[in-house]
Structures are given as C-alpha cells and as structure tokens.
Copies of this chain bind each other. A is one copy, B any other.
C-alpha cells in the first residue's frame, strides 16, 4: 500500500472486529453531565486496574474529557440500544432522557448497564485524529443481561435466538428474508405491475422456506449475496407464521425485478407489509446512526461528515 489508505475501505476492514457498545460519561466543572457512545473501549491492565477508550479529537466533548479528573465507562445491554442511539446523537438533553446516577466520584453512571467502571484520569496519549484516554478503575460493578454488540457498522444482539428457539419448538409457516446492503444502498424487489417493493424473501403460506432457498435465490444472475446474521423476527399471532429477516451484503448488479435503493430513496409508501415496513425503517435508521456516529467515539464527525 502506498500513501494513505482509502478511509472507507479501512473503516470497513476495521469494522470486521466485533465490539460491544459503551457510553463514556463525565461532567464539566459546572456539573453538567457529558457523554457519548463509543465502541473503542478495551481492558488494559488488571494490576493496577486500567482501561482505555479512544476519543475523536473533533468530537464536541473531547476537551471536556481531556480535562476531566474522572469518567465512567458503561457497557450497554441489548435492552439499551435506544440509549446508544441517544448518546450517539448531538442532542443536548441526553441526560434528561437516559436514567443515570452519580457514582462515588460524582461521575455520571448509566443505570442498568451490563457493567460500569468509574475511572480516574490516568494518562492521555495523542494518537492521530484520536486521543487515547487511559483511566484507572476506582469502582466498578456489573448487571445481568445480554450484551449489545456492534459489527460491520450495525448492532447485533444475541437475544433474537430466543424467539427462534421457541419457533423451532412450534410447527409454523416460515418466511425468510434478507436486507442486502451494498455501500449504503439496499436491494429491493420491485413488482413490475404495481410498483410495490419488498425485501427479498423465500417461503409463503404454501411453500416451506429454508435458508438454502434464500441463499440460492439469485443463482444464475450476476448478483452475489452473503447473509450475516438474523436482524429481526416477527410472529403473526393470528396465523402463527414466523418471518425471519437476515442482514446481508450484496455485490454485483441488481438482477431483473430488483433494484438498489439509496437509504433516502426507498419508496416506503410502496411497502405494503407493515412488519416489513417497520423492520426496514428501523434498519435504515440504525444503519445511519450505527455506521456514522458510534465508531471510535466519532460523536460529531459522523454527523457532519458521513463516511460511506
């Protein structure tokens, strides 16, 4: 590689490393709580107990954290996705909305985190466009639950396994679909007669769905698809039918009957299935937020200078 790497490609490669999601919090001299969402947290040392987190120099709160004597790291559970989104935003009322309390050092600590660490400022290391903030853990604790995970610019949770396991135990009709993404665009099927659009699926009331059918749906075309993980599960209480949506990646040109749509151009009014509508709306919202603002504490950068 000569010269600087393409930041978009580098970011995509870096996003192959799975992480959890944390809220990093502190307070200003006047007591105002500040915080942002970050995935660039890691354990450093057990004796003495040290952890680190990376802050974007361009982030609004970077100077506050550089100067703070204490800060907290709050590891989010899968039930705190909303809090992750809130702290990845630039809203000024984050701490009015999210439940929190003051820790022993007076630092804000998020309620019900999977784990929390109160830290004393230990060392700052300047490193390119970020600052490495090393803290000495002065107090910590943990809760119960399952983690909120982050992979390839999107959240994942392990909690979706439960409805799957329960669905296995029942006899149900199943539909399996996938949201295939390619560089911020989504592959949708377009009905040539009505103009209605749908996420690609296999299975219906009559035909049993299976993953193999989904994976081979576009065989014989130039489209290549890869499914990543289960993104959403819906159960129709009336019919007992279960619909499972995967998240996936697509490469190659859109085959006949399908089209790539940029997030902004998805014709939501052309999606007739309300569960599919809700799922895709959430997907787009999370992809924007997840891809642009959580990564490495880029609280601001993502908003004003979206990559991808």
The residues of A with any CB-CB pair to B shorter than 8 Å are 1, 4-5, 7, 9-14, 16-20, 22, 40-52, 54, 75, 104, 114-115, 117, 122-123, 125, 127-130, 132, 134, 137-142, 144, 146-151, 156, 158, 160-162, 164-172, 174, 176, 203, 208-212, 226, 228-230, 242, 244, 295-296
Known: A19-B19, A49-B5, A171-B171. A147 touches B139 (CB 8 A): no
Enumerate chain B residues within 8 angstroms of A75, measured Cβ to Cβ. Answer: 16-17
Q: Which residue of B lies closest to A143 (CB)?
A: B16
Check A41 against B42 for contact (C-beta < 8 Å).
Answer: yes
Q: Which residue of B lies closest to A139 (CB)?
A: B1
Known: A43-B14, A114-B16, A127-B134. A158 touches B229 (CB 8 A): yes
Please, how many angstroms separate the alpha-carbon atoms of A243 and B141 in the complex? Answer: 35
Please, how many angstroms separate the alpha-carbon atoms of A18 and B203 in the complex? Answer: 34
Enumerate chain B residues within 8 angstroms of A170, measured Cβ to Cβ. Answer: 208
Q: Offer 23 A-B interface pairs, CB within 8 angstroms, sorted by A.
A: A4-B48, A5-B49, A9-B140, A13-B117, A13-B140, A17-B43, A18-B148, A19-B19, A43-B54, A44-B128, A45-B127, A45-B129, A45-B130, A46-B128, A123-B127, A132-B134, A156-B158, A158-B228, A160-B161, A165-B176, A165-B211, A168-B242, A168-B244
Q: How far is the CB of A206 from chain B (nearest CB, A)?
A: 13
Enumerate chain B residues within 8 angstroms of A230, measured Cβ to Cβ. Answer: 158, 161, 165
Q: How far is the CB of A217 from chain B (nearest CB, A)?
A: 15
Known: A161-B230, A168-B172, A242-B168. A47 touches B7 (CB 8 A): yes
Enumerate chain B residues within 8 angstroms of A42, measured Cβ to Cβ. Answer: 17, 19, 40-42, 52, 54, 296
Q: How many copies does the complex hold?
A: 2
Check B147 against A18 for contact (C-beta < 8 Å).
Answer: yes
Q: How far is the CB of A229 from chain B (nearest CB, A)?
A: 4
Q: Which residue of B lies closest to A298 (CB)?
A: B46
Q: Which residue of B lies closest to A22 (CB)?
A: B17
Known: A156-B158, A211-B162, A230-B165. A16 touches B128 (CB 8 A): no
Check A169 against B209 for contact (C-beta < 8 Å).
Answer: yes
Check B169 against A210 for contact (C-beta < 8 Å).
Answer: yes
Check B226 against A144 for contact (C-beta < 8 Å).
Answer: yes
Please, how many angstroms separate the alpha-carbon atoms of A47 and B13 in the complex? Answer: 15
Please, how many angstroms separate the alpha-carbon atoms of A19 and B51 in the complex? Answer: 14
Residue in contact with A115 in the complex, picked from B14, B122, B295, CB distance below 8 Å: B14
Please, how many angstroms separate the alpha-carbon atoms of A20 and B208 in the complex? Answer: 35
Please, how many angstroms separate the alpha-carbon atoms of A54 and B51 in the complex? Answer: 10
Enumerate chain B residues within 8 angstroms of A46, measured Cβ to Cβ. Answer: 7, 10-11, 128-129, 296
